[in-house]
């Protein structure tokens, strides 16, 4: 169970995250939406302890993870793995080693220097890649893969940590619609099959509606919507994004073009 209680993060005089509270029971798939600067990334970084909160508590199964220090804070970080828009892989390193890097902090410097991995870890990494449908890519350099494949490698690296929670910061923002769907399907599968909570910052409404059990809308650091995908009407979305009646949902869509639109580029669709 996740309990976020009155969490605030100030940058100077500005509250990037402003008195945010919500509770999630069980391993839900939670989407956070909102326009640029709403505080979505800051919130995920607070949860993962990449930055400190100015006030508030985040309790996971009763423990306030914002109060953890030193090794306990690092242990928490491996319990809530992070996935980023730009994948954050080591481009020249092979895919299998990138996945193994998910458990880098559990190894000695000497083992790391000589790239020595226990066989059990290597097998686990290959198993995870197999599960995500990219095991044949294991010996290739990460930079040789498509964006969608690279994001799946990043998900595999996260799974190597065996996390309770996966935090995904705009995981499909750099991907074309087809790859975006594969990556979102992968995250949803992990959520449902492994019962790991996923909290994903999403920049498109249709993705939030399609994949999430729960959607949280942020605006200027505050929660302005917290509900189910079917409660996320166009007028509610307009409120979250702070847009007027010219607000066009299609401009926040990543749906895959079909039939009559198949010849048009994705950019054309976004602009239409």
Ligand X SMILES: Nc1ncnc2c1ncn2[C@@H]1O[C@H](COP(=O)(O)OP(=O)(O)OP(=O)(O)O)[C@@H](O)[C@H]1O
- The answer to whether 134 and 164 have CB atoms below 8 angstroms apart is no
- Shortest distance in whole angstroms from residue 35 CB to ligand X: 7
Q: Dihedral (C-alpha) 197, 201, 202, 207: value to the nearest 10 degrees?
A: 10
Phi and psi at residue 200, in whole multiples of 5°? Answer: -125, 130
- Of 51 and 73, which CB lies nearer to ligand X in the complex structure? 51
- Of 39 and 163, which CB lies nearer to ligand X in the complex structure? 39
Q: Give the integer Cα–Cα distance in Å for 183 and 50.
A: 24
- Shortest distance in whole angstroms from residue 14 CB to ligand X: 6
- Shortest distance in whole angstroms from residue 262 CB to ligand X: 30
* Chain centroid, CA 256 distance in Å: 21
- Shortest distance in whole angstroms from residue 51 CB to ligand X: 8
Phi and psi at residue 27, in whole multiples of 5°? Answer: -85, 70
- Of 42 and 151, which CB lies nearer to ligand X in the complex structure? 42
- Look at the alpha carbons of 61, 65, 67, 73 in this order and tell me if their dihedral is positive or negative: positive
- Of 159 and 183, which CB lies nearer to ligand X in the complex structure? 183
- Shortest distance in whole angstroms from residue 124 CB to ligand X: 32
- Of 34 and 148, which CB lies nearer to ligand X in the complex structure? 34
Q: Give the integer Cα–Cα distance in Å for 78 and 61.
A: 16
Residues that bind ligand X (CB under 6 A): 11, 16, 34, 36-42
3-state secondary structure of 18: strand
- Of 102 and 217, which CB lies nearer to ligand X in the complex structure? 217
Q: Give the integer Cα–Cα distance in Å for 30 and 7.
A: 17
- Shortest distance in whole angstroms from residue 42 CB to ligand X: 3
């Amino acid at each position: 169970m996740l309990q976020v209680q009155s969490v605030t993060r100030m940058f100077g005089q500005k509250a990037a995250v402003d008195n945010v509270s919500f509770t999630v029971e069980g391993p839900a798939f939670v989407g956070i939406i909102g326009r640029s600067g709403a505080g979505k990334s800051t919130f995920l970084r607070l949860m993962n302890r990449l930055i400190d909160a100015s006030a508030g508590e985040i309790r996971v199964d009763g423990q306030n993870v914002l109060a953890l220090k030193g090794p306990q804070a690092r242990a928490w970080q491996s319990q809530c793995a992070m996935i980023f828009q730009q994948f954050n892989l080591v481009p020249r390193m092979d895919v299998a080693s990138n996945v193994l890097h998910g458990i880098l902090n559990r190894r000695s410097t000497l083992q790391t220097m000589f790239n020595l991995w226990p066989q059990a870890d290597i097998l686990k990494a290959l198993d995870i890649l197999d599960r995500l449908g990219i095991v044949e890519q294991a010996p290739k350099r990460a930079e040789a893969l498509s964006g969608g494949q690279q994001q799946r490698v990043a998900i595999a690296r996260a799974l190597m940590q065996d996390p309770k929670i996966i935090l995904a910061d705009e995981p499909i923002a750099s991907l074309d619609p087809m790859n975006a769907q594969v990556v979102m399907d992968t995250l949803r599968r992990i959520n449902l099959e492994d019962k790991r909570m996923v909290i994903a910052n999403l920049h498109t409404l249709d993705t939030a509606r399609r994949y999430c059990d729960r959607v949280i809308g942020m605006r200027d650091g505050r929660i302005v919507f917290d509900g189910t995908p079917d409660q996320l009407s166009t007028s509610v979305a307009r409120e979250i994004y702070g847009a007027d009646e010219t607000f066009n949902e299609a401009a926040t869509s990543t749906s895959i073009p079909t039939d009559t639109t198949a010849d048009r580029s994705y950019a054309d669709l976004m602009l239409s």
